[in-house]
Structure 1
Amino acid sequence: MPDAPIRILLVEDSPTDALLIEHELKNGGFDVAITCVESESDIRAELLREHDLVMADYSLPGFTAMDVLDWFRQSGADAPFVLVSGTIDTETAVNSMRRGAADYILKRNLAALPGAVHRALERQKLRREKRIAEEKVGFLASMLNLAQDAIIVCDFDRYQIQYWNKGAEKLYGWTAADVMGQDIHEFILPDKMEACEMLKALVRHGEWNVEAYRVRRDGEQIAVSERATLARDPDGNPSAILFIHHDITARKRAEEQIRYQEALIRETGEIARIGSWEFNFLTRKIYWTSEVARIFELPTDTPPDVGLGFRLFSREHLRRIRDAAKAAMGSAIPFDLEAEIITANDRQKWVRMVGHPVIENQSIARVRGILQDITARKENEKQLHDQARLLDFTTDAIIVSDFTTSEILYWNQGAERMHGWTAAAAMGRPACELLSLSKDAVEEILREVSLHGEWSGELRERTKDGREIIVSSRATLIRDDAGLPKSILSLHSDVTEQKVLESQFLRAQRIESVGTLASGVAHDLNNILSPIILATPLLVEEMSDEARRSIVQTVQTSARRGVEIVRQLLTFARGVRVERMPVNCENLIAEIVSIAEETFPKSIAITVKAKPGLWTALGDATQLQQVLLNLAINARDAMPSGGSLNILARNFLVDDSFASMTPGAKTGAYLLLQVSDTGTGISKAIIDKIFDPFFSTKEVGKGTGLGLSTVVGIVKSHGGFVNVESEPGRGTTFKVFIPASGAESASLHDPEEDLPPPGGRGETILLVDDEPNIRGVAELILQQAGYQVVLAADGTQAIARYAERRSEIKLVITDAVMPFLDGIALTRALRILDPDIKVIGTSGNSDDQRSAEMKGLGLAAFLTKPYDKHTLLMTLHQALHHPPS
């Protein structure tokens, strides 16, 4: 049975019959929502709406059920049609079935109606599932035909072709009609021996990969990369072979062209007095040209010898040469090395040695290469290196560019490190283009250096990997001997991190200001909300009218939402006080995923990856659950059209290096909770503002802007930190780091919460609060629970009331913040009168200075406003009957 009511359109002019039909359906176990119509205009209007089932009496004023059936089918509706009539004959019923009716029922036999409805709905469900399955099969077939590669299927027993896609038609020239049912060996596997090897590999390993030459229908030879996969039936027996052929003819021809060009280059090297050599892997013989002997300063008729050649390399370079030669001969790895040699005449030289393996018949046959004397180049490089070394020591970027063309003439290692471009890549390119400088900035620099000979300021530049950096730059004009502008010398210092720290400092100041404001109003807001939270349950208990009870419960829900917003403000502003307990984050994530799967759109796919052996987080389970829930809801809102929500949990060790680069991080063990989405992402323009309170990109009324600021407040209170990474259009990842330990998971549920609050035994309680609404509601709750209540509006009244009834009063409940005499002074005064008096403190802001000071007076308990009836009575009972040890 479906969960939602079955939507039925009933065409019936008899209200009595309509009630009988509804009665029979409900007796049959159906939950139905019936729309009854009897005129043609109403029928046509309802047919435009969606219904699960249409039922119609046969005889109606002015038309019949057959007319309704025709209108129904013309509207394009897909619901089953059931005919219900008291006068229809068998022939008419059969005709209606032929025209599309799902069933017919006589009114004198309405007991059969639930069965007919059940059958009609089941048949409709099967038809829809069949149509969906057919659409999926058709879609997959169309997708395979879009593939550029040849996709071919043959049965395993007779090797007859069962499938031949458009890619196969294009690659081989035969159409599907030409090859279907034919032996595959006639078209793509002409070599019987190769086919046998393939079958052995398929049976043994399940797949076969090879590069081979095949012949098209027109006789052209092509090279293909062939992959065959064996399919098995449910019993595990081979049933079919799937082939995927990719055309690699162009690649093979390119490889042949490359081999020809390499040979040509080697011959040209000989002409250019570059020595060539070749080592035969099979004969272990080496051959070299006379130019190699000349470089080694050996007689030209000296027989080539591997040991002789290796002995000429200096000891510190010999190992590299030998290792490279072994890798080339054993693993076909080419090499290109520079090394020092001591010639036969005991002279020091530098050579470049290049080796390239030659593969024949799928094995390494020989290694060929060149030997080039690069001594002169090395000496020049050393001289230039010595001259430029001092400039490369600096961490700043030093750049020289042509005054007229802006082309880079010098680029030191500091510039390489800062901008990512090597000197070779930067030389000759316009500086404004390479650094992505704005047109206005370039014009200002040229104008200032032309007028004053120098310019200084800050520039925004882009590195090779696309990062934007801020540099403090100083440009100086260099003139030639004639005094004309020749080039510009620029010194760049990266101040990006400094600017980020300045921005964070300013943001922290803004947040501190908002925090001060939030903390100041929290007490007053909680005092306003307290009587509502306390009074609404009492009103609900006394009301019998469900409508009024619903209104009161709505008021209570709104008040609790106001409390939650106040708590979020305080969490953001001052952090939260966390009782560090071991928390099992696997259970925590499971709860969040359960909530998300039940409430999020089905278009959002949720995946969870929890690494085994997770450490235990230290903190408050409820607050950490709020962190994950806020991040998951933000991810959902960022994917209005669906996407992927990924939650990852793993252990993470923060070392000194990571901590130095990450604001708020300290070295130690952390539990990393990562929430990622594939949504709209966050632009760079606003990513620095997302943790600010009341900042939101959502529409008005769709959010308070406190979600992420609350996340930061909770995480910081746990001693952790938050990172965010986002790319517009690609999604966002939040990483939450919580300090961890190896402790066992703490229970997330207190069974005492399920017990009803205990009542009093006539004890007298002194209730002190400057808010009359709180006093009135709390007095009513305490009196209903069996307590005697004495009221006081401030500390001075409380002392007077206590003096009058000192022997009766068993406990005092007092607000921390009151005019004239606050809760702190009152508690101290009461302790003078009676050192053993029990006091419960209350406050609308438990984290302010006066509340903290009052908690240090040895209270029996402390309640944060607004508190509910259950919390008040449980705390009072605990204070009276179970004093803390």
Structure 2
Amino acid sequence: MSGKTGPEATTQNQLDAVTLLLDDANLIVHDVDGIISRWTTGCERLYGWRRDEALGKVVHDLLATQFPQPLEDIRSHVQARHSWEGEVVHRHRNGHSVFVASRWVVVGPSPDGAVIIIQTNNDVTDMKRVQNDLAEREAHLRSILETVPESMIVIDEFGLISSFSAAAERLFGYSADEVCGQNVKMLMPSPDREGHDGYIARYLATGERRIIGYGRVVQGQRKDKTVFPMELAVGEALTNGKRIFTGFVRDLTSRHRIEEELRQAQKMEAIGQLTGGLAHDFNNLLTVISGNLEMIEGKLADKRLLELLHEAQGAAEDGAKLTGQLLAFGRRQPLNPKLADVGGLVSGFSELLRRTLGEMIELRTAVTGASNEALVDGSQLQNALLNLALNARDAMPRGGKLSIEISRVRLDVDYAQMYPDVRTGDYVLISVTDTGIGMTADVKEKAFDPFFTTKGVGAGTGLGLSMVYGFAKQSGGHVQLYSEPEQGTSVRIFLPAAPKVETAGQLAGETASDPASIPGGTEKILVVEDDPRVRRIAVSRLTQLGYAVVEAANGTQALARLGESGDIALLFTDIVMPGGMTGDELAGQVRARQPDIKVLFTSGYAEPAIAGREFAQAGSWLQKPYTARELAIRLRELLD
């Protein structure tokens, strides 16, 4: 090089001066083809190659460079703009990877047109390793937060939300984007909403803990304004001198419902034992009374005394009927169960029911399927249905419809989880549904209690539903009450069904409950249900079947969701809902907007035409409780 003169020699001398001055830096000089002309001591330390081993080599081959984009693109960029920078991966002489932040600067070009590039490399291996560790830990933490059933919410000392887990999105109905940066009090009902900022300020000022570090049951508020019980545990941490609070939330709605059902079952069991024992002892007293009256009757000749005696005998007989009903409620009545076709039994005394109801009430009896056999006391079943018919008649003073449907159903795990005293299995379901005045929530809560009645004094004993409850329980079954004010009442008696005779296909393992045979889909379904517990189960079932789900609590919300999502294929809605819009009215408005949308109704009543609504032709319907298989099959029937 020293023999060269002119501009080229000047350039080479300048490069020599630069590399000498920056010898400790990681600096490489090469041409556009990558042939190395200068290699500093810093590069020897960084890559392990001596200067004499590197000079004349192609830098990209020597260091096995991994570029973030094609090399030709980088060369074109350098020639056009005279510089380039980016992150590359080099290979050390011993084989390990070196992450560097590389910058290329063009010097020249030389008089012969060759492009000279000075490449400076900053080792960022340690920083890259830290970044990868952080990314790995963040991914691990995120995977935990995505799967843990409890919802997690992180806020700062001003109450602003900084993190909102996927479970929290599902629980509260908000997306993370909607809540992050907002005050956490938006997830609270009054009065906690108004007092929350004061709670944090008081803690920061006094250090007094009320929730932090302790578990506590509070109330939350969803996006749809529904309020629910939740267990809240809050932890505190300091990061960069700032406080953050992490709250873990567990939805207690299902637990409270199960606890309430369990308390109700325990109450009914305790009352049943008490009333059954009293009725048994009182029956013994009535036996003595009626026996003595019979013996006295044969010795009296005075007609006036005989009239008094007959009146006393009538009262004793009435007392025996009352104790019989109490024994039924207490599950101590003598039953004589026999294997019988429940559909045939009900059809056999439907004429008796018709005479009991009178001409103003239309009786409809329907039997679904041919296998409705159960081990049941026919006379007691008849007595239970007579009591239900009398209650229905009293609830329809101006006439109406009474429907009795008999079908075979299977209660699955989902249903059993809602009612702790129910066992899964096959049952014969007897649904007795009227179009009467219905019941309020407080009346429904006490409906099965003995001696509870809404009738006037002398108009009833309050033992009719109690007897039905006891008969179903003593028969190994279950009874459920479904009623809405001014919409009618449906009482459903579940009696354990006799086993079906297995077919050859089933014996070979082709069972109807094989989960793999349940059909699924990918369409979007709008689920409308006012009961949050029932809605969550429906959404969970549909999601497991592969469907995309949009949910709403009432008709107004459903129409809003419909406007937001234009690709909904099917509306799955309850019939009776609060808010002034029923399921059939909602279906009418939905079809006016989207005529091609499919509709599937669901109802706790015995038939969709109950309560005077004749919309069976407007869409299919599914009676509650329904299984995942029944729902899946009905959906495919409508969508295919």
Task: Give TM class, smaller chain.
Answer: 0.3 to 0.5
Q: Which has the larger radius of gyration?
A: 1
After TM superposition, the score normalised by the length of structure 1 is 0.35
Give the TM-score of the pair, scaled to structure 2: 0.47
